[in-house]
Chains A and B, each alone.
Chain A
Amino acid sequence: MKHLELHILQSFPVTCLNRDDLGSPKTAIFGGVQRARVSSQCWKSVVRLMAREYSPELFRGKRTKLVVEPITQGLIKRGFKEEEIAEALKDISGKIGEIDKKAATKLSTLLFTTDQEIDLICDTYAKNRNVKDLDKIFKEDHYNIMKDAADIALFGRMVASSPELKIEGAAVFSHALSTHKADNEIDYFTAVDDEQEEDITGAGHIGTLEFNSATYYRFCAVNMDELSDDKHLGVMSKEERKEVLASFIRSVLLAVPIARRNSMNGNTLPGYVLCVVREKGHPVQLINAFEKPITQYKDSGIFDRSKDAMLTEYDNLEKNWGMTAALKAAIPDISLDKLIEKATAYVD
């Protein structure tokens, strides 16, 4: 499998990028000690939305319940009358998800879909007066809906009511994990009542927030063979696929989870990015570099020592397991644009 790997080191000051049911930043034990953690789905959702900003024409997938109106409009365009449409919607919702009982304009579950897919559904119904064949059409003519849905191809989707609509994502993300031991800390805060009379003391509000600060190792990989196959983006031109990968890499590197953006603002950029393309084998992360938690030593801080450890782990894997790379490029050795240019040269 030809695949691309991104190994990212990124430091965050006081933040709570991803919290659990109690509002604490997520953690995990690794190498016997506690680490800060950000779950993969948390980071994926911001990457997906940012990629859409870079390539709005290619990342058209949307996760929405509001598909009843577009389908209705599609059917009107194909000459259907109002009473026929109600029946059509009943049939179609059997495939893509039930219509909300309280609000007839939406589905009761989110659907990850595109405009082209909605057109395909309307066409199928107009032709057959039912959508029974939709499963078959998706199976055989799958690519038709992928012309503008790079996000569905990369991140995948699952539709409970129709297994045939399931698409296995070509990209994988690991949970981000701190390279060092990390403890959550508590921020005690008070808020002053602006209108309070001067002789009255005391705060208008007190509370606590949990946060931590960490240098994270982030890992993401793309199955390049799968990305350009018939079930994914085979229908796009090579140039379009290159743009898809470029926007994806850019977003993976630049997007940051939005939690507490106003109060803690953790908008940092990666300090080091190692981009690897291999013609064979499977993606392997370099997390074992940090199994022994990184500590400060003399003049070098956590980030520098994390970087050294990561590169040593890379060399070990290369030497001991013969994991040779077709491309090995790193930021800041080269710029982001240059890195993207090099990586996208491997798109089929």
Chain B
Amino acid sequence: MSIKYLALRLRGWLQSWGTHGTQYNRDTGFFPTKSAIAGLCASALGIGRGSPGEPGFLEQFNRLKMDVLRKRKPHPRWEGETIDINLLSDYHTVRDTKKAGGGSKDCHPYTCFFLTDADFGVILEGEEDFLNRVGDALRDPKWILYFGRKCCLPSGPVYQGVYTTREEAEREFTEAGAGIMTQRDTEEFTEGNDNIFDVPLSFARADRRYAKRRVYTGPYK
């Protein structure tokens, strides 16, 4: 069994990678989470939340090392300049919601957050067979692929390719040069600088659980 690299490209003007709350403030992180990428791949394979196929899939998926690269997009008008991601907040109201203590509330405002102008490369490192299976599914997925929320749709194919080296898999992203930010799984604790609780153990609605991973977040080097 050989190790390969599956590269995904997340290009879409609107993206939202929630890291915790789902009620009042539906936030987004500045990188896609591991659980989001697991969900994207599971969706391509047609594995539903809490379905019988989920535990086996997650067990294999969580063995993958994930490396996310965020590229600055070229400025649409000024040559040589680049633009950074933006945070968009979207105000909504829901009528007639339930309150925790029983009873209902007439109008419940909430805010959704999105990233605009984001362009991510995601490189998954792991066993060839599993990556080929996921890659094939991403090329012709069972369900529609979206970036965190159903209105966040891709503006290019998600699947980029399966490569034999990390350099090849990253090339599309690192060629551009300056301004690349990365968030990647680290093997040694000392290589990392942050802990994130986004490794999905179960997506079942009544039993959603996450584990911790150690990551390096910062400029690409």
Residues on A close to B: CB < 8 A? 1, 3, 20-21, 26, 28-33, 39-41, 65, 97-98, 100-101, 108-110, 160, 163, 168-169, 172-175, 177, 219, 221, 223, 225-226, 280-288, 291-293, 317, 321, 323
Contact, CB under 8 Å: B154 / A284: yes
Nearest first, the 5 closest Cβ-Cβ pairs linking A and B are: A108-B104, A292-B76, A40-B151, A32-B83, A29-B86
Inter-chain contacts of B88 with A (CB < 8 A) = 28-29
Contact of B146 among A108, A172, A293 (CB under 8 A): A172
Task: List 8 additional A-B contacts (Cβ < 8 Å) besides A110-B95, A317-B156.
Answer: A21-B109, A108-B96, A108-B103, A174-B153, A175-B151, A226-B144, A282-B157, A284-B153
Contact of A177 among B13, B77, B154, B205 (CB under 8 A): B13
Contact status of A288 and B11, CB under 8 A, knowing A65-B96, A168-B143, A221-B144? yes
Inter-chain contacts of A41 with B (CB < 8 A) = 92, 151
Inter-chain contacts of A109 with B (CB < 8 A) = 96-98, 104
Confirm or deny: B20 has a beta carbon within 8 angstroms of a beta carbon on chain A.
no
Contact status of A282 and B117, CB under 8 A, knowing A28-B88, A219-B153, A221-B153? no
Residue total for B at the interface (Cβ-Cβ under 8 A): 44
The complex places the Cα of A97 from the Cα of B97 at a distance, in Å, of: 11
Confirm or deny: B14 has a beta carbon within 8 angstroms of a beta carbon on chain A.
yes
Residue-by-residue, is B139-161 near A (CB-CB < 8 Å gives 1, otherwise 0)?
A: 11111111000111111111000
Confirm or deny: B209 has a beta carbon within 8 angstroms of a beta carbon on chain A.
no
Contact, CB under 8 Å: B143 / A223: yes
Residues on B close to A: CB < 8 A? 11-14, 73, 75-77, 83, 86, 88, 90-92, 95-98, 102-104, 109, 114, 116-117, 139-146, 150-158, 205-206
Inter-chain contacts of A30 with B (CB < 8 A) = 13, 116-117
8 A-B contact pairs sorted by A residue (CB < 8 Å): A28-B13, A41-B151, A97-B98, A174-B152, A219-B153, A221-B144, A284-B155, A285-B154
The complex places the Cα of A33 from the Cα of B150 at a distance, in Å, of: 24
